[in-house]
Structure 1
Amino acid sequence: MNQAKSKLWTKDFIIVSSANFFLYLVFYLLLVTMAVYAVEEFNVSESQAGLVTGIFIIGTLIGRLFIGRMITSVGNKKMLYFGLIFFILTSLLYFINGGITFLLITRLLHGIALGMASTATGTIIAEVIPEERKGEGIGFYSMSITLATAIGPFIGLYMSQQTSYQAIFIFCLALGIISFIISIFAKIPVMEKPAKSDKPNKLKLSDFIEPKALPIAIVVLIISLGYSSVLSFINFYAIEIDLVDVASLFFVVYAVAILVSRPFTGRLMDMKGANSVMYPAFVLFTAGLLLLSTAENSIVLLLAGVLIGFGFGNMQSTTQAIAVKVTPPQRIGLATSTYYIALDAGLGFGPYVLGFIIPLTGYRNLYIIMGVVVLVTTILYYFMHGKKESSVTTIDSMASKAN
């Protein structure tokens, strides 16, 4: 009986992780294609094209903000099904050519649907995983998103070169339907509803944001702004430097760099502290952006993808771990939510803000500017968390030597 309880790769674990993978596959597939689609179809500016990309993530942010509070009362099963059905219905809106405003509304609603569904899958997976294998299980579950970051942009860029946008929308609709169908076969645990209180439920900022996780969240906001310049504009940049065929591989090498390095960086953080990962990651992320700005051939472009994977890819997992580590156990859920709000805000608002800069700087100079911003953020990290981390690590080291 105990052996059965400790099993990780159960049918339910695989189904929920797969459903999450298909959702994020759509997310990243459209993330690299929608800006070009908006320019080609509606002849919009870079800033408007960036908004078409980023408003989806803003929708995801809205979905996570409010659904996180509702899921315990509504139930994770109902929330998952509602989110997936809403995801499918909003996918149908892409087939309606109603102008740029209608496309923006579609992207916002589609993002809200992903926020609902992904919040539900994240909650369900935490209940499906055995307690004694929580860390390992959540690590494997998060790989469903990491794989989507590689495969989604690869498929998106390939299909945008080889097929029509209508074919892309049909493919995304099919993925949403598959995600819903396989979810039906998962046995989803029923959540225990919280006890009703007689006191009026007044909303406070601390109901949505964890104050202790806020310092590292500010760092996440800025570095994700830097990464949004890659996610949203790499396709435009590749067209400009005539490397479109290779651009689809950029996110593949990015994800491979993450997959290869994360096991080592995770252990390094456990042994030496977060600074041992974060400071080198700042340097690598900066180097990747600066190298990207100089790309003239496929080797340089892909090498930039590797460096950005080593840098930003490991910053993502490390900053999330920091947010959880500095927070009391009873508020870890809010700490995780605070982290994702900052990440989504940077990735969501970034393309729109940077869209105003591109006409003035061009893509090469944009990546130079983003590289400098990331490097300067190292100083902000030091004061927000790194200084405190150094003190704790030193004390732990002295205690270890004393023992």
Structure 2
Amino acid sequence: MKEIKEPIWTKDFIIVSIINFISILVFFLLMVTISSYAVEAYHVSTSIAGLAASIFIIGSLMGRLGAGRLIGNMGPQKMLLIGLIVFCVTTLLYLLEWGVAYLLTIRLLQGVAVGTIGTATGTIVAMILPASRKGEGIGYFSLSAVLATAIGPFIGMFMLKLENGFHVIFYTNTVLSFILLIAFFFVKISLPQTNKKNGQQTGNLSLLEKFIEPKAIPISFIALLIGFAYSGVMSFITFYAKEINLVEAASYFFLAYAAIVICSRPYTGKLMDARGPNIIVYPCLVIFALGMLLFSQASAGWMLLVAAALIGFGYGNFNSIAQTIAVKVTEPHRFGLATSTYFILYDLGLGVGPFILGMVEPYTTYRTIFVSMIPLIVISIPLYYFLVGRKGKLV
């Protein structure tokens, strides 16, 4: 008799994934354009323009930290609604030009909103997915972020070429933000109720445990290292491509990256559910290291695109599997904290990486920077074994 699988693609799963996709798309659309806007509108220095872009990440970390704590008391649906309302308001406020301090404030607050939305949607998805297909489901869900990171910058750069491009961007984002708010009211999720036993003596929890899920820290720390290793690719590929005269090939890098992730994630998610995370994580880390090696030594367009495929398979699949591990090692009533803990450390690696590597760059070359990331990836393999892998298949 054929086994009936519990469904993944429910109406609520699809809507929540769309909400996550659009919020991240707006984030990356602005990430590649807001520096230019700050210079053009307020005539600020390059460093202040960079701050206008990066302060968003600080806000996102604050949002994840707060949302992870409050989800346990308010529930992920209420937190999602709060995040969407703040997101709508801050997106609308971009239409006003009240000075660079105002712009930085709006960027920070919108970052808080996106961090809140991301934590809430991740928690909801972790709760509504069947336990037997959680790895597969989170793999599909995380594709919404992958697509957003590929499409957002492309749309942003295209809109910049239009007449009054910045205003087109701000009006488009405003419309998208209100679509998200409307979409929320079509979600009718029946989440498991947290009882007092599960909610556990909150008073007995340490201050750290009220904001962070300790069980999720080991895999989240590995994600921080891997995110740090990847951050240079994300931030410096344009400069690197000019240095090695492969600008045209580099323009297709993230499309190749996204294509490989989209094709592979459904299979890696199913494999994790069937045989545990180790069978995915170890090969992914090795392939990521090989991809970084090829990327650092690229001298032709095909090498850059093959590197994109290897990095997409290795880094891209590790990311979704690691997120699943963070949830699977945690009790259901702390899924919100587990999700926020994972993304706080992961985003920290992505955010701090460009800053540190950027300070090193004047004293070396981009090739050397990317080569130096390979030992970090390799070290993560035994570190993963001692912190997570030796425990075997997760329940």
TM-score (norm 2): 0.81
CA distance in 2, matches of 1:208, 1:142: 23
Which of residues 216, 222, 226 is equivalent to 1:223?
226
Instruction: Indicate how the Cα distance of structure 1 residues 327 and 101 shifts in structure 2: closer, same or farther if over 3 A, else same.
Output: same
Quote the residue 1:358 is aligned against.
361
Provide Cα deviations, 1:41-74, integer angstroms capped at 9, x if missing partner.
Answer: 63424xx666544432332221121122323544
Quote the residue 1:397 is aligned against.
none
Provide Cα deviations, 1:116-162, integer angstroms capped at 9, x if missing partner.
Answer: 22333334445655777655544433332232232223323444566
Deviation at 1:306, TM superposition (A): 0.9
8 Å Cα contact 1:38-1:44 kept in structure 2: no
Structure 2: give runs of 5+ residues left out of the alignment.
1-5
Quote the residue 2:318 is aligned against.
315
- The count of corresponding residues between Structure 1 and Structure 2 is 384
Deviation at 1:205, TM superposition (A): 0.7
Quote the residue 1:345 is aligned against.
348
Deviation at 1:332, TM superposition (A): 4.6
Instruction: Indicate how the Cα distance of structure 1 residues 79 and 339 shifts in structure 2: closer, same or farther if over 3 A, else same.
Output: closer
Question: Which stretch shifts more, 370-379 or 89-98?
Answer: 89-98
Quote the residue 2:85 is aligned against.
85
Instruction: Indicate how the Cα distance of structure 1 residues 39 and 380 shifts in structure 2: closer, same or farther if over 3 A, else same.
Output: farther
Instruction: Indicate how the Cα distance of structure 1 residues 254 and 348 shifts in structure 2: closer, same or farther if over 3 A, else same.
Output: same
Provide Cα deviations, 1:330-372, integer angstroms capped at 9, x if missing partner.
Answer: 5454333322221121122222222212222243332222233
Question: Which stretch shifts more, 314-323 or 233-242?
Answer: 233-242
* Structure 2 letter corresponding to 1:44: T
* Structure 2 letter corresponding to 1:71: I
Question: Which stretch shifts more, 69-78 or 223-232?
Answer: 69-78
Deviation at 1:261, TM superposition (A): 2.0
CA distance in 2, matches of 1:126, 1:380: 26
8 Å Cα contact 2:19-2:180 kept in structure 1: yes
Provide Cα deviations, 1:355-401, integer angstroms capped at 9, x if missing partner.
Answer: 21222224333222223322233343343334x24xx47xxxxxxxx
Instruction: Indicate how the Cα distance of structure 1 residues 242 and 181 shifts in structure 2: closer, same or farther if over 3 A, else same.
Output: farther
Superposed counterparts of 1:98-247, under 5 Å? 102-126=102-126, 136-160=136-160, 164-189=165-190, 192=193, 204-241=207-244, 243-247=246-250
8 Å Cα contact 2:69-2:337 kept in structure 1: no
CA distance in 2, matches of 1:26, 1:337: 20
Instruction: Indicate how the Cα distance of structure 1 residues 265 and 361 shifts in structure 2: closer, same or farther if over 3 A, else same.
Output: same
CA distance in 2, matches of 1:280, 1:332: 27
Instruction: Indicate how the Cα distance of structure 1 residues 123 and 364 shifts in structure 2: closer, same or farther if over 3 A, else same.
Output: same
* Structure 1 letter corresponding to 2:88: I
Question: Which stretch shifts more, 240-249 or 293-302?
Answer: 240-249
* Structure 2 letter corresponding to 1:263: P
8 Å Cα contact 2:133-2:273 kept in structure 1: no
Query: Once the two structures are aligned, what percentage of the paired residues are identical?
Result: 50
Deviation at 1:97, TM superposition (A): 5.5
CA distance in 2, matches of 1:237, 1:300: 14
CA distance in 1, matches of 2:243, 2:161: 15
SS at match of 2:46: coil
CA distance in 2, matches of 1:275, 1:209: 24
* Structure 2 letter corresponding to 1:293: S
Instruction: Indicate how the Cα distance of structure 1 residues 100 and 382 shifts in structure 2: closer, same or farther if over 3 A, else same.
Output: farther
Question: Which stretch shifts more, 318-327 or 122-131?
Answer: 122-131
Instruction: Indicate how the Cα distance of structure 1 residues 10 and 271 shifts in structure 2: closer, same or farther if over 3 A, else same.
Output: closer
Quote the residue 1:398 is aligned against.
none
CA distance in 2, matches of 1:186, 1:102: 34
8 Å Cα contact 2:76-2:336 kept in structure 1: no
CA distance in 2, matches of 1:361, 1:169: 38
CA distance in 1, matches of 2:97, 2:248: 28
Quote the residue 1:370 is aligned against.
373
Structure 1: give runs of 5+ residues left out of the alignment.
1-5, 394-403
Instruction: Indicate how the Cα distance of structure 1 residues 201 and 139 shifts in structure 2: closer, same or farther if over 3 A, else same.
Output: same
* Structure 1 letter corresponding to 2:188: K
